[in-house]
């Protein structure tokens, strides 16, 4: 049975019922939470709530290295990340699902690589190619799953990873827009590059919860943003279920 790693953030902590839970020790400390293992269709899903369960870890405080390492330790070769984002493009309103293909990293101070050559026995430095941050084959399967499910998924976008936990100023959004950013989130990096360092295929489903600061015609309302996430989670769950049937078809 095939395995799919699933890392989700705000609004998804209580999605899956655990058939088995894994408490993984890593050289980089503890993951955000126990990893829940359950079967969906013909696939085995290993699910990790990025911010802990209950939700307690701010984006900059997530132990991304431990999270990705733990997934690999459990035999995961493919990870789908669910990221809640703000949109710079006015046509991508709240509830839109976007499958990004590029990323810009504005974060700072996060432990962002396994190749630090200092800790854990002097792990040698390697320079990975990050031209394409997301796995194109996995992105294609995601888009095909959306089409099969009758969902309108937006293909290709540049994800801007900001530090958080505060939201951005209107001036910061204008800067990101000038840089080519189209979606703004706080957890896309270093998650994507760490998966790349370990050779794990990684793709993201970006759930738009709001228009970014200055793009909307009013100030942002946090309660409204969370409400938008809550109303969209079922569609994301349906997409994941369809994705699993595409990745791991039943063999008669």
Mean pLDDT, rounded, for 72-83 = 96
CA–CA gap between residue 4 and residue 48 (Å, rounded):
11
Answer yes or no: are the C-beta atoms of 83 and 9 closer than 8 Å. Answer: yes
Q: Is residue 144 pLDDT above 60, yes or no?
A: yes
If one counts the domains in the chain, the total is: 1
Q: What is the pLDDT of residues 170-214, one digit of tens each?
A: 999 999 999 999 999 999 999 999 999 999 999 999 999 999 999
The CATH number of the domain where 238 resides is what? 3.40.50.1580
Residue 252 located in a structural domain: no
What's the pLDDT score for residue 118? 63
């Amino acid at each position: 049975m095939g395995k799919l790693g699933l890392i989700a953030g705000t609004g998804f902590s209580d999605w899956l019922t655990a058939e088995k839970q894994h408490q993984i020790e890593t050289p980089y400390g503890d993951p955000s939470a126990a990893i829940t293992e359950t079967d969906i269709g013909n696939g085995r899903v290993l699910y990790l709530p990025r911010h802990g369960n209950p939700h307690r870890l701010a984006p900059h405080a997530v132990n991304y290295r431990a999270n990705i390492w733990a997934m690999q330790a459990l035999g995961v070769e493919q990870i789908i990340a669910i990221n809640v984002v703000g949109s710079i493009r006015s046509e991508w309103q709240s509830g839109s699902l976007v499958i990004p293909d590029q990323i810009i990293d504005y974060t700072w101070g996060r432990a962002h690589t396994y190749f630090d050559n200092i800790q854990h026995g002097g792990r040698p430095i390697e320079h990975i190619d990050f031209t394409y941050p997301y796995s194109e084959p996995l992105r294609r399967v995601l888009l095909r799953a959306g089409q099969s499910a009758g969902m309108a998924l937006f293909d290709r976008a540049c994800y801007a990873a900001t530090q958080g936990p505060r939201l951005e100023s209107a001036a910061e959004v204008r800067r990101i827009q000038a840089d080519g950013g189209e979606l703004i989130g706080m957890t896309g990096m270093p998650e994507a590059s760490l998966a790349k360092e370990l050779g794990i295929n990684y793709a993201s489903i970006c759930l738009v919860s709001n228009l970014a600061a200055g793009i909307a015609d009013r100030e942002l309302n946090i309660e409204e943003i969370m409400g938008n996430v809550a109303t969209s989670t079922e569609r994301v769950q349906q997409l994941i279920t369809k994705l699993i049937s595409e990745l791991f078809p039943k063999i008669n």
